[in-house]
Amino acid sequence: MTKILLMGNPNVGKSAVFSRLTGVKAIVSNYPGTTVSYTRGQMKLGDKTAEVIDVPGTYTLEPTSQAEEIALEMLAEGDVVVNVVNATNLERNLYLTLQLLEKGIPVVVALNIWDDTKHLGIDIDVDRLRQRLGVPVIPTVAVTGEGIKELVEAIPRAASPRPSPTSSSKRWAKVGNIVEEVQRIRHRHHTWRERLADASVRPITGGIIAAVVLAVAFMLVRLISEGLINYVLDPLFNNLWTPVLLKLSPLMGGEGFLHDIVIGHLVGGEINFVESFGLLTSGLYVPFAMVLPYVISFYFVLGLMEDTGYLPRLAVLMDNVMHRLGLHGFAIIPTLLGLGCNVPAVLGTRILESKRERFIAATLISIAVPCAALQAMIIGLVGAEGWQYVAMVYGTLFVVWIILGFILNRTVKGFSPELLIEIPPYRLPPWRTVLQKLWMRTYGFLVEAVPIILGAVAAINILYFFGVFDAIANFAAPVVTGLLGLPKEAVIAIAIGFLRKDVALGLLAPLALTASQLVVGSVVLAMSFPCIATFVVLLRELGILNMLKAAGIMVASALIVGGILNLIL
């Protein structure tokens, strides 16, 4: 099967081109031996089927990060390269094009974002550019599908002129000559989108825009998720699933070891999907009715922010702040990902260039950035006592994020490089791509989270049955009751937090805690060990030594902050 590699700089529309070529059926995989992910799908090429691989974005074939190293390795596996180029920034993009040509692999250039060249007053002589490069060059607008048919027809004509390898300075000189020859820029007035783009990265106006965008994003996440819970998922569980379980319960004896694992404990003879804690009750309700709605809404909003072009601007705006935490502005993106799920967030730290940055970012995400699942429980459980207590939880985590970042910046050795990022123009989001990414991310969450939650529920019931948690609670009671001011039964929830934080927080519900105790418990659970899936990813990303360092920081900071909150509240 022919392998077609989509290669190009970040933020040039590769994902939109991929979506147009392959449709919505795609598979996200990790490159063997790494945690760097890429997307692959299939397309029809004549009467045959070809595999299309969306290679991690790279500026150069002289790698500066693991993602760029993987892009170079994948180049050796491809039969044809579709080099996606931002037509509004030829000078930046053609450097990679020349490097690809030097490799001798057949290349087709997709001159993407072609519609914006007209808006920006940029005239490109496409025929002359074809002659200079010696390969097919096809103008495309992937968000609308313009030029995609011509691009597919050009793939069999991919050429490999293979110029002699040259130095970086000579390559840049050649890029300059090509751009001077094929491109003309006309005078024009700024559009409202360009004025908005400029305002988005200025300190004052950018800060105001960021506050508005993030506030709207938060409200939209909550609106969508609560709508799904109240009008779709709760009615499904209460009206359709509850009668099934009530009929199944007597058939299993109404109580006993097997009944408690499968259905859980009946509360007053009725099914309580949070408190029953069986595989078919809490094991299904927690991931599908409590967590999934927030995951869907968060990833939908994140996709909109990505594909409108706002996220890179937020990275630039945040660069000064993030540098004080030992990071650069692009670290805000995996941090925001962490609000959906810590696993892809920790994986996302691969975009950061240095090991120091990756350690700091991964540690801060694991400690101070609650995932969507945990947020759902915080809002539902703590919010029932009043929104001021939810604000206390989030405010505490934000202060911890800042202070701990300052400390790590001064104590962790290494360097933080400057921010180098391509900023795309503002544009309407390609809905096809937004929905495709939403499906892939949601599917990935379900595949990963549901088995873990079901396993955790079964393990909890078994450990309860054999009295293991009672022993743990008695051993840790002095710390939990004395330092944190929580009942000794809360030790069980803290221990379960290693498997799944949202499940652990749910275990606090039956303990009749005060509002202040719920705040302390929520903060301690958020800051202590991450869920086991994130823990495994931390081990793979950081190595065993740095993972142990991060774990030590988590435990110490959770106990210190929990103790301070207990004293204050």
Backbone angles phi, psi at 27, to 5 degrees: -125, 130
> Strand, helix or coil at 470?
helix
Amino acid at 567: L
CB 327 within 8 Å of CB 414 = no
> Strand, helix or coil at 278?
coil
What is the rounded average pLDDT of the residues 36-56? 85
Angle at 92 between CA 89 and CA 98, to 5 degrees: 115
Instruction: Identify the pLDDT of residue 53.
Output: 92
Instruction: Identify the pLDDT of residue 179.
Output: 94
Q: Residues 377-408, buried b or exposed e (16+ Cβ, 10 A)? A: bbbbbbbebeeebbebbbebbeebbeebbeeb
| CA of residue 500 relative to chain centroid, distance | 18
CA distances from 161 to 75, 106, 135, 373, 528 (A): 16, 8, 8, 52, 56
Residues 469-483 have pLDDT tens digits of: 677 767 777 888 888
DSSP 165: P
pLDDT category of residue 421 using cuts at 50, 70 and 90: low
What CA–CA distance (Å, rounded) separates 330 from 328? 6
Place of tokens 């970012």: 361
What CA–CA distance (Å, rounded) separates 429 from 308? 5
CA distances from 133 to 53, 281, 415, 493 (A): 23, 62, 38, 62
H-helix or E-strand containing 487? none
Mean pLDDT rounded to a whole number for the chain: 83
CB 116 within 8 Å of CB 191 = no
pLDDT at 241 over 80: yes
pLDDT at 368 over 80: yes
Handedness of CA 437, 191, 320, 370 (dihedral sign): negative
CA neighbor of 328 nearest in space, from 367, 357, 366:
357
Task: For the chain, list the domains and their CATH numbers.
Answer: 2-188 (3.40.50.300), 203-568 (no CATH)
CB 522 within 8 Å of CB 505 = yes
pLDDT at 33 over 60: no
State both tokens at 76: 């050796």
CA neighbor of 522 nearest in space, from 381, 402, 342, 363:
381
Residues 124-176 have pLDDT tens digits of: 999 999 999 999 999 998 877 889 999 999 999 999 888 888 888 999 999 99
pLDDT category of residue 407 using cuts at 50, 70 and 90: very high
